[in-house]
Structure 1
Amino acid sequence: MSKRETAGGAGERVRLDKWLWAARFFKTRTLAQEAIEGGHVKVQGARAKPSHEVKPGERLTITIGEYVWEITVKALSARRGPASEARLLYEEDPASLARRQEAVARKRERREPRVRGDAVDRAKLRALKRGG
Protein backbone atom coordinates (compact mmCIF):
# COMPACT_ATOMS: atom_id res chain seq x y z
CA MET A 1 0.00 0.00 0.00
CA SER A 2 1.27 3.44 -0.83
CA LYS A 3 1.33 6.39 1.54
CA ARG A 4 -1.83 7.79 -0.08
CA GLU A 5 -3.83 4.59 0.54
CA THR A 6 -3.09 3.94 4.19
CA ALA A 7 -4.86 5.35 7.20
CA GLY A 8 -2.74 7.59 9.38
CA GLY A 9 0.32 9.19 7.74
CA ALA A 10 1.14 12.84 8.36
CA GLY A 11 1.62 13.86 4.72
CA GLU A 12 -1.35 11.96 3.40
CA ARG A 13 -3.71 13.66 0.94
CA VAL A 14 -7.08 12.35 -0.21
CA ARG A 15 -9.63 14.20 -2.32
CA LEU A 16 -13.09 14.64 -0.79
CA ASP A 17 -14.84 12.81 -3.63
CA LYS A 18 -12.44 9.88 -3.38
CA TRP A 19 -12.80 9.71 0.42
CA LEU A 20 -16.62 9.72 0.22
CA TRP A 21 -16.42 6.87 -2.30
CA ALA A 22 -13.91 4.94 -0.15
CA ALA A 23 -16.10 5.48 2.95
CA ARG A 24 -19.02 4.00 0.94
CA PHE A 25 -21.34 7.02 1.08
CA PHE A 26 -21.60 6.89 -2.73
CA LYS A 27 -21.32 3.97 -5.16
CA THR A 28 -19.15 5.89 -7.62
CA ARG A 29 -16.80 8.86 -7.51
CA THR A 30 -18.96 10.54 -10.13
CA LEU A 31 -21.98 10.39 -7.81
CA ALA A 32 -19.81 11.78 -4.99
CA GLN A 33 -18.63 14.65 -7.24
CA GLU A 34 -22.21 15.48 -8.27
CA ALA A 35 -23.36 15.53 -4.63
CA ILE A 36 -20.48 17.82 -3.63
CA GLU A 37 -21.09 20.18 -6.55
CA GLY A 38 -24.83 20.16 -5.78
CA GLY A 39 -24.16 21.37 -2.22
CA HIS A 40 -25.18 18.11 -0.54
CA VAL A 41 -21.79 17.74 1.14
CA LYS A 42 -20.46 20.42 3.46
CA VAL A 43 -17.04 20.58 5.11
CA GLN A 44 -16.98 22.43 8.43
CA GLY A 45 -20.42 23.84 7.50
CA ALA A 46 -19.31 25.33 4.16
CA ARG A 47 -19.60 24.10 0.58
CA ALA A 48 -16.50 22.45 -0.80
CA LYS A 49 -15.10 21.29 -4.11
CA PRO A 50 -14.56 17.62 -5.02
CA SER A 51 -10.80 18.29 -4.99
CA HIS A 52 -10.83 19.48 -1.35
CA GLU A 53 -8.19 17.56 0.59
CA VAL A 54 -9.83 15.84 3.56
CA LYS A 55 -8.03 15.87 6.91
CA PRO A 56 -8.73 13.79 10.03
CA GLY A 57 -10.83 15.76 12.49
CA GLU A 58 -12.84 17.61 9.82
CA ARG A 59 -16.61 17.67 10.24
CA LEU A 60 -18.71 16.71 7.22
CA THR A 61 -22.45 17.02 6.69
CA ILE A 62 -23.67 14.65 3.99
CA THR A 63 -27.24 14.75 2.67
CA ILE A 64 -28.45 11.79 0.63
CA GLY A 65 -32.15 11.92 -0.14
CA GLU A 66 -33.98 12.55 3.12
CA TYR A 67 -31.10 11.30 5.28
CA VAL A 68 -28.42 13.53 6.79
CA TRP A 69 -25.13 12.26 8.22
CA GLU A 70 -23.07 14.51 10.48
CA ILE A 71 -19.69 12.87 10.79
CA THR A 72 -16.11 13.48 11.87
CA VAL A 73 -13.33 12.12 9.66
CA LYS A 74 -11.20 9.71 11.71
CA ALA A 75 -8.90 8.26 9.06
CA LEU A 76 -8.05 8.67 5.39
CA SER A 77 -8.20 6.15 2.61
CA ALA A 78 -8.15 6.43 -1.16
CA ARG A 79 -8.98 2.75 -1.50
CA ARG A 80 -12.52 1.37 -1.40
CA GLY A 81 -12.54 -1.66 0.85
CA PRO A 82 -15.16 -3.68 2.69
CA ALA A 83 -17.91 -1.91 4.61
CA SER A 84 -16.32 -2.96 7.90
CA GLU A 85 -13.16 -1.00 6.97
CA ALA A 86 -15.16 1.94 5.62
CA ARG A 87 -16.92 2.40 8.97
CA LEU A 88 -13.52 2.93 10.61
CA LEU A 89 -12.89 6.03 8.46
CA TYR A 90 -15.49 8.18 10.24
CA GLU A 91 -17.48 8.62 13.43
CA GLU A 92 -21.10 9.72 13.30
CA ASP A 93 -22.55 12.10 15.89
CA PRO A 94 -24.99 10.31 18.22
CA ALA A 95 -27.64 12.99 17.53
CA SER A 96 -27.23 12.49 13.78
CA LEU A 97 -27.57 8.72 14.16
CA ALA A 98 -30.74 9.13 16.25
CA ARG A 99 -32.28 11.50 13.66
CA ARG A 100 -31.49 9.09 10.81
CA GLN A 101 -32.94 6.11 12.67
CA GLU A 102 -36.08 8.13 13.39
CA ALA A 103 -36.36 9.05 9.69
CA VAL A 104 -36.02 5.38 8.72
CA ALA A 105 -38.77 4.44 11.19
CA ARG A 106 -41.07 7.16 9.80
CA LYS A 107 -40.41 5.94 6.26
CA ARG A 108 -41.29 2.36 7.24
CA GLU A 109 -44.56 3.54 8.80
CA ARG A 110 -45.52 5.41 5.61
CA ARG A 111 -44.78 2.44 3.38
CA GLU A 112 -47.87 0.63 2.21
CA PRO A 113 -47.77 -3.14 2.46
CA ARG A 114 -47.36 -5.00 -0.79
CA VAL A 115 -50.56 -6.70 -1.78
CA ARG A 116 -50.17 -9.58 -4.14
CA GLY A 117 -53.16 -11.43 -5.47
CA ASP A 118 -53.48 -15.13 -5.02
CA ALA A 119 -53.25 -17.72 -7.79
CA VAL A 120 -56.95 -17.46 -8.61
CA ASP A 121 -56.72 -13.68 -9.06
CA ARG A 122 -53.70 -14.06 -11.34
CA ALA A 123 -55.47 -16.72 -13.43
CA LYS A 124 -58.51 -14.45 -13.82
CA LEU A 125 -56.25 -11.57 -14.87
CA ARG A 126 -54.47 -13.72 -17.47
CA ALA A 127 -57.82 -14.86 -18.85
CA LEU A 128 -59.03 -11.26 -19.02
CA LYS A 129 -55.88 -10.20 -20.88
CA ARG A 130 -56.32 -13.04 -23.38
CA GLY A 131 -59.84 -11.88 -24.05
CA GLY A 132 -61.64 -14.73 -22.32
Structure 2
Amino acid sequence: MASASALPNEPAQARVDSWVWAVRLFKTRSDAAAACRSGHVRVNGVAVKPAHSLKHGDEIRVRVNGVERIVIVERLLTKRVGAAVAVQCLIDKSPPPPDPQLVAAQPRRDRGSGRPTKRERRETDRLLGRED
Protein backbone atom coordinates (compact mmCIF):
# COMPACT_ATOMS: atom_id res chain seq x y z
CA MET A 1 0.00 0.00 0.00
CA ALA A 2 1.30 3.46 -0.88
CA SER A 3 2.47 5.69 1.93
CA ALA A 4 0.93 9.06 2.77
CA SER A 5 3.99 10.76 1.28
CA ALA A 6 3.04 9.34 -2.13
CA LEU A 7 -0.04 11.57 -2.16
CA PRO A 8 0.40 14.93 -3.85
CA ASN A 9 -0.09 18.17 -1.92
CA GLU A 10 -3.81 18.67 -1.39
CA PRO A 11 -5.22 21.67 -3.28
CA ALA A 12 -7.59 24.12 -1.58
CA GLN A 13 -10.46 23.14 -3.91
CA ALA A 14 -11.23 20.75 -6.74
CA ARG A 15 -13.85 20.62 -9.47
CA VAL A 16 -16.20 17.64 -9.23
CA ASP A 17 -15.52 16.48 -12.82
CA SER A 18 -11.78 16.64 -12.25
CA TRP A 19 -11.98 14.82 -8.90
CA VAL A 20 -14.16 11.90 -10.09
CA TRP A 21 -11.78 11.47 -13.04
CA ALA A 22 -8.69 11.72 -10.79
CA VAL A 23 -9.93 8.96 -8.47
CA ARG A 24 -10.73 6.78 -11.50
CA LEU A 25 -14.54 6.70 -11.37
CA PHE A 26 -14.50 7.76 -15.05
CA LYS A 27 -12.05 6.88 -17.81
CA THR A 28 -11.75 10.44 -19.16
CA ARG A 29 -12.42 13.88 -17.77
CA SER A 30 -14.75 14.64 -20.67
CA ASP A 31 -16.82 11.54 -19.71
CA ALA A 32 -16.98 12.88 -16.15
CA ALA A 33 -18.08 16.33 -17.34
CA ALA A 34 -20.74 14.81 -19.63
CA ALA A 35 -22.08 12.73 -16.73
CA CYS A 36 -22.31 15.90 -14.61
CA ARG A 37 -24.16 17.79 -17.36
CA SER A 38 -26.65 14.93 -17.81
CA GLY A 39 -27.42 14.70 -14.07
CA HIS A 40 -25.62 11.43 -13.29
CA VAL A 41 -23.37 13.02 -10.63
CA ARG A 42 -24.85 14.22 -7.34
CA VAL A 43 -23.01 15.92 -4.50
CA ASN A 44 -24.79 15.72 -1.14
CA GLY A 45 -28.00 14.75 -2.95
CA VAL A 46 -27.99 17.63 -5.47
CA ALA A 47 -27.22 17.24 -9.19
CA VAL A 48 -24.23 19.43 -9.98
CA LYS A 49 -22.47 20.98 -12.96
CA PRO A 50 -18.89 19.97 -13.83
CA ALA A 51 -17.35 23.10 -12.22
CA HIS A 52 -18.93 22.52 -8.78
CA SER A 53 -16.30 22.81 -6.01
CA LEU A 54 -15.82 19.92 -3.63
CA LYS A 55 -14.77 19.92 0.01
CA HIS A 56 -13.60 17.25 2.42
CA GLY A 57 -16.49 15.01 3.55
CA ASP A 58 -18.80 15.57 0.54
CA GLU A 59 -20.87 12.54 -0.50
CA ILE A 60 -20.78 11.91 -4.25
CA ARG A 61 -23.24 9.60 -5.99
CA VAL A 62 -22.21 8.65 -9.52
CA ARG A 63 -24.14 6.49 -11.99
CA VAL A 64 -21.69 4.73 -14.34
CA ASN A 65 -22.97 2.13 -16.83
CA GLY A 66 -26.16 1.64 -14.82
CA VAL A 67 -24.30 1.04 -11.55
CA GLU A 68 -24.48 3.59 -8.73
CA ARG A 69 -21.26 4.36 -6.87
CA ILE A 70 -21.40 6.23 -3.56
CA VAL A 71 -18.13 7.73 -2.32
CA ILE A 72 -17.08 10.19 0.38
CA VAL A 73 -14.30 12.70 -0.37
CA GLU A 74 -11.29 12.06 1.88
CA ARG A 75 -8.68 14.11 -0.01
CA LEU A 76 -9.02 16.59 -2.83
CA LEU A 77 -7.19 15.87 -6.09
CA THR A 78 -6.91 17.69 -9.39
CA LYS A 79 -4.44 15.39 -11.14
CA ARG A 80 -5.05 11.72 -11.97
CA VAL A 81 -3.24 9.33 -9.63
CA GLY A 82 -2.56 5.61 -9.56
CA ALA A 83 -5.25 3.21 -8.41
CA ALA A 84 -3.47 2.47 -5.12
CA VAL A 85 -3.31 6.18 -4.28
CA ALA A 86 -6.86 6.88 -5.51
CA VAL A 87 -8.28 4.39 -2.98
CA GLN A 88 -6.77 6.49 -0.16
CA CYS A 89 -8.59 9.62 -1.39
CA LEU A 90 -12.14 8.30 -1.00
CA ILE A 91 -14.33 6.15 1.21
CA ASP A 92 -16.42 3.76 -0.89
CA LYS A 93 -19.97 3.35 0.46
CA SER A 94 -21.34 1.72 -2.71
CA PRO A 95 -23.83 -1.12 -2.28
CA PRO A 96 -22.52 -4.57 -3.21
CA PRO A 97 -23.28 -5.77 -6.75
CA PRO A 98 -26.28 -8.08 -7.15
CA ASP A 99 -25.75 -11.83 -6.92
CA PRO A 100 -24.80 -13.19 -10.41
CA GLN A 101 -27.24 -16.10 -10.00
CA LEU A 102 -30.07 -13.65 -9.32
CA VAL A 103 -29.20 -11.60 -12.40
CA ALA A 104 -28.99 -14.73 -14.58
CA ALA A 105 -32.42 -15.89 -13.37
CA GLN A 106 -34.16 -12.71 -14.56
CA PRO A 107 -36.06 -13.17 -17.82
CA ARG A 108 -34.52 -11.55 -20.88
CA ARG A 109 -36.23 -10.93 -24.19
CA ASP A 110 -34.47 -12.25 -27.29
CA ARG A 111 -33.19 -9.66 -29.70
CA GLY A 112 -35.76 -8.87 -32.37
CA SER A 113 -38.67 -10.44 -30.50
CA GLY A 114 -40.18 -7.11 -29.50
CA ARG A 115 -42.35 -4.73 -31.44
CA PRO A 116 -41.72 -4.77 -35.22
CA THR A 117 -39.80 -1.92 -36.75
CA LYS A 118 -41.30 0.35 -39.39
CA ARG A 119 -39.40 -1.52 -42.08
CA GLU A 120 -40.76 -4.88 -40.84
CA ARG A 121 -44.33 -3.51 -40.76
CA ARG A 122 -44.02 -2.28 -44.35
CA GLU A 123 -42.69 -5.68 -45.46
CA THR A 124 -45.61 -7.40 -43.71
CA ASP A 125 -48.11 -5.02 -45.33
CA ARG A 126 -46.55 -5.65 -48.75
CA LEU A 127 -46.73 -9.41 -48.17
CA LEU A 128 -50.39 -9.27 -47.15
CA GLY A 129 -51.28 -6.92 -50.04
CA ARG A 130 -52.24 -3.96 -47.83
CA GLU A 131 -50.14 -1.42 -49.69
CA ASP A 132 -51.54 2.08 -50.28
TM-score, scaled to structure 1: 0.67
Secondary structure of residue in 1 paired with 2:68: strand
Structure 1 unaligned residues grouped into runs of 5+: 111-132
Tell me which stretches of 4 or more aligned residues in structure 1 moved more than 3 Å. Answer: 106-110
Matched residue, 1:102: 98
Equivalences for 1:61-100 in 2 at 5 Å? Answer: 61-93=61-93, 96-98=94-96
* Cα 1:44/1:106, change in 2 over 3 Å: farther
Matched residue, 2:118: none
Contact 1:57 1:72 in 2 (8 A): yes
Secondary structure of residue in 2 paired with 1:60: strand
State the one-letter code of the partner of 2:81: G
Secondary structure of residue in 1 paired with 2:71: strand
Q: State the aligned residue count.
A: 98
State the one-letter code of the partner of 1:97: P
* Cα 1:28/1:71, change in 2 over 3 Å: same
Deviation at 1:20, TM superposition (A): 0.8
Structure 2 unaligned residues grouped into runs of 5+: 1-7, 106-132
Q: Which has the larger radius of gyration?
A: 2
Deviation at 1:108, TM superposition (A): 7.0
Percent same amino acid at aligned positions? 29
Matched residue, 1:24: 24
Counterpart Cα distance in 2 of 1:65 and 1:107: 19
C-alpha RMSD over aligned residues: 2.0
Counterpart Cα distance in 1 of 2:101 and 2:53: 36
